[in-house]
Amino acid sequence: MKLVSEIMSLELELVDVYRYEGFIGKRFRFRIKGTKIYVNVLANSVEDAVEKAKQLIKQLELEKYVKSSKS
């Protein structure tokens, strides 16, 4: 399953959606395109998952590290 979402200058690819029995919500696993970095978030919808992934990437400041490694 592929979904590409542009985040700042990074792109996310939806790799997997799964659910643990007994837990509310779904787990969404994204890969930052062009890297081996994966981001996992808990959400009820893909849109919510993308927003949470954006926030996580921003908090960890991953964009500047990925940019500098591609240069």
Q: Is 90 exceeded by the pLDDT of residue 70?
A: no
User: How many folded domains does the chain comprise?
Assistant: 1
Q: Give the global pTM.
A: 0.79
User: Is residue 4 packed enough to be buried (19+ CB in 10 Å), middle (13-18) or exposed (0-12)?
Assistant: exposed
Q: Kindly tell me the sign of the dihedral angle through the C-alpha atoms of 11, 59, 47, 22.
A: positive
Distance CA(17)–CA(41), nearest Å, equals 10
- Tell me the residue range of the domain where 65 lies: 4-70
pLDDT digits (tens, 9 = 90+) for 20-47: 888 888 999 999 988 999 999 999 999 9
Q: Is 80 exceeded by the pLDDT of residue 6?
A: no
